């Protein structure tokens, strides 16, 4: 979309209208209320260094289903336009960006002034304003008892689906609905729904347990995820692709295999953390030092879950063919992010597990892709 616009059109469409602000306010208020009142499994987070554990109500799937149903009914009744997001994408993007800046400045100020000593709220101040604003000061800040980190990642993932649905409506309306668009929409919708089915797994991920809440994370969750992960959809609105049957079959295989590896690896680790004796692929697990799983996917490479995620990301772009690098933004970005993250995670694990980690490295020498990396 951006590529088709000249600056005279682009700049005005970046100025948030009052309507885009209302959309964001409605969205955040809905998520806050739904997150609090809808039923859902309450999960205890990982044990923090002071022995405390946060609680997360995992009702994202219900909140998302209800939201889509409400929006669908409102669209049918003509109260909202299903094209609202697709037509006002840039305005919403800039409104979200301004929100990210404001909210992270507020987080910076409250973090700096906090005298809380608990692991989740203890301020970590380096003294460098940009660093502290970017990386955040507190691990799990809250607003009106809402865990903001969990809230923002949920908002981002749901936002991605809502943007996609609006793009889908736009392609139906302008008569450009194609096999590529259908494939892209199905893969992303399955990925996002699966995320919410397994929302509890999120509570033990790096972002939740190790990253403080600053601009990097808030921007990543609220803007980066929904607006850049949907580039393929925006691109397909303006470009036609002819897919052959073998290409469609190959694309589906990349998705299915990627999903099995991604979900399988994350599930095995999650189950292992809950009960280290649970069999892995029908056999007793290989465990290093009583703490690290070295069988199943975790015996093939130290981050098979990243490999699966990368295959999934590729499957979201393949429907766009290979005529342009633009739709490959997401897999390329994810490759860079996950390699960087895997390096940081290795450092953290080496410090935490010491000789146990060294033994694990010996048993499982591959980082992400066996025999390659």
Binding site residues, ligand NDP, CB under 6 A: 205-206, 262, 266, 269, 272, 292-293, 298, 303, 305-306, 309, 334, 337, 341, 345, 348-349, 352
CB of 202 to ligand NDP, least distance (A): 8
CB-nearer residue toward ligand NDP: 235 or 360: 360
Q: 356 and 293 in contact (C-beta within 8 Å)?
A: no
Distance of CA 150 to the CA centre of its chain: 11
CB of 174 to ligand NDP, least distance (A): 29
CB of 213 to ligand NDP, least distance (A): 15
Q: Write the burial class of residue 113 (CB in 10 Å: 0-12 exposed, 13-18 middle, 19+ buried).
A: exposed
CB-nearer residue toward ligand NDP: 96 or 305: 305
Residues 62, 201, 263, 314, CA torsion sign? positive
Q: Which residues contact 350 (CB under 8 A, 6 or more apart)?
A: 357, 358
Dist CA 230 CA 86 (whole Å): 11
Question: Which alpha helices (H) appear in 114-178, and where do they start and end?
Answer: 129-135, 148-173
CB-nearer residue toward ligand NDP: 149 or 303: 303
CB-nearer residue toward ligand NDP: 108 or 272: 272
CB-nearer residue toward ligand NDP: 200 or 345: 345
CB-nearer residue toward ligand NDP: 339 or 349: 349
Q: Which of 162, 183, 159, 160 is nearest to 236 (CA)?
A: 183
CB of 130 to ligand NDP, least distance (A): 23
Q: Which tokens hold the place of 281? A: 């692929």
CB of 206 to ligand NDP, least distance (A): 3
Strand segments, DSSP code E, in the chain are 41-44, 55-58, 142-143, 146-147, 287-288, 292-293
CB of 304 to ligand NDP, least distance (A): 9
């Amino acid at each position: 979309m951006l590529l088709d616009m000249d600056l005279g059109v682009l700049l005005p469409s970046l100025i948030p209208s009052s309507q885009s602000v209302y959309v964001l306010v409605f969205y955040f208020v809905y998520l806050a209320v739904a997150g609090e009142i809808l039923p859902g499994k309450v999960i205890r987070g990982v044990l923090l260094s002071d022995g405390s554990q946060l609680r997360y109500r995992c009702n994202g799937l219900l909140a998302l289903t209800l939201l889509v149903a409400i929006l669908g009914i409102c669209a049918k009744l003509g109260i909202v336009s299903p094209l609202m997001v697709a037509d006002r994408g840039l305005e919403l993007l800039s409104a979200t960006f301004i929100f990210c800046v404001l909210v992270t400045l507020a987080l910076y100020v409250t973090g700096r002034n906090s005298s809380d000593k608990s692991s989740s709220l203890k301020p970590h101040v380096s003294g460098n304003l940009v660093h502290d604003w970017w990386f955040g000061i507190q691990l799990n800040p809250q607003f009106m008892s809402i865990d903001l980190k969990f809230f923002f990642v949920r908002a981002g993932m749901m936002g991605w689906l809502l943007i996609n649905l609006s793009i889908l409506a736009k392609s139906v309306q302008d008569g450009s609905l194609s096999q590529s668009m259908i494939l892209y929409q199905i893969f992303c919708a399955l990925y996002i729904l699966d995320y919410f089915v397994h929302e509890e797994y999120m509570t033990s991920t790096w972002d939740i347990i190790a990253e403080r809440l600053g601009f990097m994370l808030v921007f990543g969750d609220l803007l980066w995820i929904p607006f850049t992960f949907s580039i393929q959809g925006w691109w397909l609105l303006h470009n036609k692709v002819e897919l052959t049957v073998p290409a469609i079959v190959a694309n589906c295989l990349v998705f299915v295999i990627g999903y099995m590896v991604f979900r399988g690896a994350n599930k095995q680790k999650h189950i292992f953390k809950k009960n280290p004796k649970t069999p892995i692929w029908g056999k007793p697990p290989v465990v290093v030092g009583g703490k690290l799983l070295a069988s199943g996917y975790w015996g093939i490479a130290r981050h098979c879950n990243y490999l699966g995620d990368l295959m999934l990301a590729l499957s979201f772009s393949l429907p766009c063919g290979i005529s342009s690098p633009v739709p490959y933004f997401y897999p390329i970005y994810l490759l860079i992010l996950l390699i960087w993250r895997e390096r940081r995670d290795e450092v953290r694990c080496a410090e935490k597990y010491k000789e146990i980690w060294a033994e694990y490295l010996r048993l499982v020498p591959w980082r992400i892709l066996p025999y390659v990396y």
